[in-house]
Amino acid sequence: MTGARRDAEGPVPGGRPASSPPTEVSQPDGPDPAARLRAEVDAWIASDPDPATRDELESLLRRGDVAGLRERFAEPLTFGTAGLRGAIGAGPGRMNRLVVRRTTAGLAVWLRAQHGAGDGSLVVGRDARHGSESFASDTADVASAAGVPVRRLSRPLPTPVTAFAVRHLGAGAGVMVTASHNPATDNGYKVYLADGAQVLPPYDEEIAAAARAESQEGAGTCRPVPPARAPRPFEGRAAVERIDEQELLRAYQAAVLACLDVDAPRAVDVVYTPLHGVGGAVAPALLEAAGFAPPWVVPAQAAPDPDFPTVAFPNPEEPGALDLALALAAEHGADVVLANDPDADRLAVAVPLADGRWRVLTGDEVGALIGEHLLERSHGDDRLVATTIVSSTLLSSLAREAGVAYRETLTGFKWIARAAASSPGMRLLFGYEEALGYAVTDAVADKDGMSAAVVVAGLVARARADGSTLLDRLDAIEARLGVHATAQWSLRLDGAGASARMAAVVARWRDDPPASLAGHAVSEVVDLARGTGTLPPTDAVVLKMGTTGRVVLRPSGTEPKLKAYLEVTSSPPGLAGLASERVDAARLLAELRADVASRCRDT
């Protein structure tokens, strides 16, 4: 192959011109890795229904790009946080139509084998990202061909609407095609169980195993499966039903409005942005239905656009993502900025300062504000609030103050939504995670940035009526319960072997933890790989520094990132000592972040 790129194992053998049809190749004899890779690539091309991704592999073969092929085949996408997520492209290590079809084939087999889990139907929803429409269509077609009744949303809608639909319609499972706040190059496949919450172990492993069996993969090969082949012999193709979206949105709206105080103040000026996502189709109307004035919506970000042209990353946590919303808020003298991520399951909040600048609240700060509000306005011994091991411990103090049960879960709403499941007679009043995810009503068993936006608008309206602000409420909370300063550090690791490198860093901290961090002795190391109390095992380690703070180190479940979650705490300082304690906490938090970064990069 003229000009072929080489590495230690040489180019992929047998390169062919683009006009040659893909050939079906069985497992080659002998240990030749290059021949084995070529067989896998040929088999994938033979099965791939998408000409674009077939051409992508053909192009790599023509160029002899072994590294590019290995990157797509060495590490197939696996179930992470409730499903699959990755860059759009060819091969088992990317998001594409064949990956979606094979995953759905396994999901269909698994769903048909379940008993007593809804009516056995599958709800399919999607956002407006690149590939979402075809991925959703393939999901519906494969499930229907396998005999699973399908109820499909016909237009792009937010993830919380799909989560709500699963339980509202009594379905057996749901699929939401979305990559949430990931870059424009990504897409994903999120699975919900019959309770409307994200899939969790061991069901995710069972679905993945069924997908492997249905696609006839094994022993390092990827034998072709004709795209039109039904996943398994079945009684007949099931129906694909279009969901009445207006009725569904009315039901969703009614469920959200039920969590509001009817006679609470509603005077508030809101700027809203869906960040080029699908929240704009639902959130502004929801705010109006709740009695608030129509929000000012950022014009350049109002309509769905899968390229996210005005932001570097469509994540409201990223620096600069809210710049247009903050500018619009300053122009109109708004009381609050509310921003959803592209699939509207997260919420960012920004509030004005006295000097005209704006401050973006952290997820932990918003969690404390909503948590205190819902605890104050609710009653009953069955109340439970929950957050994750990487969120602030402030919610536990609020719960203890209110005499309400508290649970700490693993990271992810698949755990938060089920926090009350192990406690008969309890109900989840509120759950949140520091990454801007909040559950303010049990009608949606997942994080919901739109219902949270309505609650926060109400909080701002009440504070405005009282002559105060959300920052005043935060001051009051920390004055009586102590400063809880939080921050994150992350290290992105791309390419083949990224997962192994992340795991190695966590293992190092687990096996040989530092004796001190930022000059403070590490008093306890909690290895969550073994599980603790009610927590199942997970690849994370917690280092505690007495009552001063803690660090949680873990690999991300949705991105190739190693993440550290930092918290510094103080005794209750009262309002008089609050400013001084916050300065000390911020200084220690910066030192802690620098120490963690240095140790992780040097590992």
406 Rama class: left (phi>0) / alpha (psi -120 to 50) / beta: beta
> What is 459-496 written as a DSSP string?
HHHHHHHTT--HHHHHHHHHHHH--EEEEEEEEE--ST
> What is 214-282 written as a DSSP string?
HTTEETTEE----TTS-SS--S-PPPEEE--HHHHHHHHHHHHHTTS-TTS-----EEEE-TTSSGGGT
From CA 196, how far away is CA 392, in angstroms rounded? 26
Just list the catalytic residues: 180
Contact status, residue 338 vs residue 284, Cβ threshold 8 Å: no
β-pairing verdict for 427-433 and 437-439: antiparallel
In our burial notation (b when 16+ CB lie closer than 10 A, e otherwise), range 80-101 reads: bbbbbbbbbbbbbbbbbbbbbb
Supply angle C-alpha 102, 216, 496, rounded to 5.
Answer: 70
- β-partners of residue 175 are 124, 191
Q: How far is CA 551 from the centre of its chain?
A: 21
Backbone angles phi, psi at 450, to 5 degrees: -85, -45
Edge-to-edge order in the sheet of strand 405-409: 405-409, 383-388, 427-433, 437-439
Helix (H) or strand (E) holding 337: strand 336-340
Q: How far is CA 597 from the centre of its chain?
A: 24
Q: Structure tokens of 307?
A: 């390229």
Q: Structure tokens of 278?
A: 């699908």
- As a whole number of Å, the CA-based R_g of the chain is 25
Neighbours of 303 (CB within 10 A): 14
Contact status, residue 57 vs residue 222, Cβ threshold 8 Å: no
Contacts of 148 (CB under 8 A, 6+ apart): 108, 111, 112, 120, 121, 122, 238
Task: Tell me the angle at which helices 449-465 and 245-257 cross, rounded to the nearest 10 degrees.
Answer: 40
Q: Structure tokens of 523?
A: 């008093």
The sign of the torsion formed by the CA atoms of 188, 192, 196, 199 equals: negative
Helix (H) or strand (E) holding 83: strand 83-87
Q: Structure tokens of 449?
A: 């940035």
Contact status, residue 109 vs residue 217, Cβ threshold 8 Å: no
Neighbours of 242 (CB within 10 A): 10
Helix (H) or strand (E) holding 587: helix 574-602
Contact status, residue 465 vs residue 268, Cβ threshold 8 Å: no
